């Protein structure tokens, strides 16, 4: 099997934040399968070791015995500025220069806006938005000096639309879309492309309560032109495209992977 050169990212080094489980872990798997060296991130070192072990033996060389792609871990909290600075410096020293950054770490907190506390507001803003600024800035300081890099910010269909009870989450993801465009504007001249990937409703730990709520789950299926919930694997192709030379003239965009949901009323 041959890979078109435009889609060949073998040998690149990628950091995926929030990749101990869920969507981030699926992205890491896709990148490893494409031949990248991948650094997994999250706050729990044990969960990261387990996640890395699950990716052992994955990768283009694994079957032939040529050696699987490398998987590393870097435990740090993406909301903590000094920890992010130290974490990125450590990754580049231990693993090598980062070619690809996926800002994926995120959280959800479903509560009516009138009941949302100050602390809860700051926590979701820090986790979903400030994190992308902190990690993005730290990575881009190095990428701009080298003259190339790909950054993919994981947005959401709620960067575009919102339902009752999820306003703070949608506010963070809407702002992340604009941060993506701003990063594109600032760093494009240094050879860095910054794009967003906006998943629709995807079955993960984060959405488990919604999946288990039969009424809500049926609403998702009915409201999605594809007629089903998304799976983490549904997102991998879009990520690999945005990380590849095929997207070298694509920047500041959000690619929605949502079974069509954001397009219909
Ligand atoms: P999960 O809750 O399954 O995974 C979240 C990941 O982020 C975990 O690895 C978690 O690890 C990590 N994380 C959370 N907070 C921090 C932090 N402060 N520092 C470092 N790592 C952190 O979520 P999903 O996989 O479902 O979601 C991933 C991304 O996709 C999020 O940005 C989410 O908003 C977005 N998304 C998800 C959708 C869905 O339907 N699932 C839809 C649209 C967007 P740990 O807790 O160990 O630190």
Residue 227 lies in a domain: no
b/e map of 48-83 (b: 16 or more CB within 10 Å)?
beebbeebeebbbeeeeeeebbbbbbbbbbbbbeee
Phi, psi of 193 (to 5 degrees): -105, 135
Binning the chain into helix, strand and coil, the percentages to the nearest 5 are 50, 15, 35
User: On the CB side of 126, how many CA atoms lie within 13 Å of its CA?
Assistant: 12
Q: What SS3 state is found at 148?
A: coil
Rounded Cα distance, 35 and 13, in Å: 9
**Is 65 a member of any domain?**
yes
β-bridge mates for residue 152, sequence order: 102, 195
Structural domain includes residue 226: no
Q: Ligand 1 pocket test: which of 79, 106, 135 has the largest number of ligand atoms within 8 Å of its C-beta?
A: 106
Q: Let me know if residue 213 belongs to a domain.
A: no
Q: Which contiguous run of DSSP H or E holds residue 151?
A: strand 149-154
Task: Determine the structural domain holding residue 241 and report its residue range.
Answer: 5-204+232-257
Mutation probe of ligand 1 site: the residue of 51, 105, 196, 200 with most atoms within 8 A of C-beta: 105
Tally of domains in the chain: 1
Whether residue 134 is contained in a domain is answered as yes
CA 58-99-71 angle, to 5 degrees, is 25
Q: Which CATH number fits the domain that encloses residue 47?
A: 3.40.50.720
Would you state the pLDDT for residue 264?
Answer: 94
Beta carbons of 154 and 103 less than 8 angstroms apart: yes
Residue ranges around ligand 1 (CB below 6 Å): 17-24, 41-44, 47, 77-79, 104-107, 127, 154, 156, 199, 201-202, 204-207
Is 222 among the domain residues? no
Q: Does a structural domain hold residue 100?
A: yes
Q: Enumerate helices (H) and strands (E) in the chain, giving the number of each.
A: 9, 7
The alpha carbon of 30 and the centre of ligand 1 are apart by a number of angstroms equal to: 17
pLDDT tens across the length of the chain (265 residues):
789 999 999 999 999 999 999 999 999 999 999 999 999 999 999 999 999 999 986 766 555 545 557 999 999 999 999 999 999 999 999 999 999 999 999 999 999 999 999 999 999 999 999 999 999 999 999 999 999 999 999 999 999 999 999 999 999 999 999 999 999 999 999 999 999 999 999 999 999 999 999 999 999 999 999 999 999 999 999 999 999 999 999 999 999 999 999 999 8
Q: Looking at the whole model, is its pTM more than 0.95?
A: yes
Rounded Cα–Cα distance for residues 138 and 83 (Å): 11
d(CA 195, CA 197): 7
- Separation of alpha carbons 10 and 249, rounded Å: 20
Residue 24 lies in a domain: yes
């Amino acid at each position: 099997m041959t890979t078109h050169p435009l889609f060949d990212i073998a040998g690149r080094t990628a950091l995926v934040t929030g990749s101990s489980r869920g969507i981030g872990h699926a992205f890491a798997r896709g990148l490893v399968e494409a031949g990248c060296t991948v650094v997994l991130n999250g706050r729990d070192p044990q969960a990261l070791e387990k996640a890395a072990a699950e990716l052992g033996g994955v990768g283009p060389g694994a079957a032939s015995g040529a050696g699987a792609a490398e998987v590393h871990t870097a435990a740090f909290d993406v909301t903590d500025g000094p920890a992010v600075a130290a974490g990125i410096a450590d990754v580049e020293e231990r693993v090598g220069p980062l070619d690809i950054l996926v800002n994926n770490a995120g959280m959800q907190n479903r509560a009516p806006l009138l009941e949302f506390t100050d602390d809860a507001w700051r926590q979701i803003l820090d986790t979903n938005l400030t994190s992308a600024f902190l990690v993005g800035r730290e990575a881009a300081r190095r990428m701009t000096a080298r003259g190339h890099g790909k950054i993919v910010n994981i947005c959401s269909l709620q960067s575009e639309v919102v339902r009752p009870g999820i306003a703070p989450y949608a506010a963070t993801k809407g702002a992340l879309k604009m941060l993506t465009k701003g990063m594109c504007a600032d760093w494009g001249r240094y050879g860095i492309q910054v794009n967003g990937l906006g998943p629709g409703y995807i079955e993960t730990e984060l959405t488990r309560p919604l999946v288990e709520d039969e009424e809500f789950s049926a609403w998702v299926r009915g409201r999605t032109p594809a007629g089903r919930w998304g799976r983490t694997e549904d997102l991998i192709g879009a990520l690999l495209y945005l990380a590849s030379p095929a997207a070298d003239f694509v920047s500041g965009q959000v690619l929605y992977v949502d079974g069509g949901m954001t397009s219909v009323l």
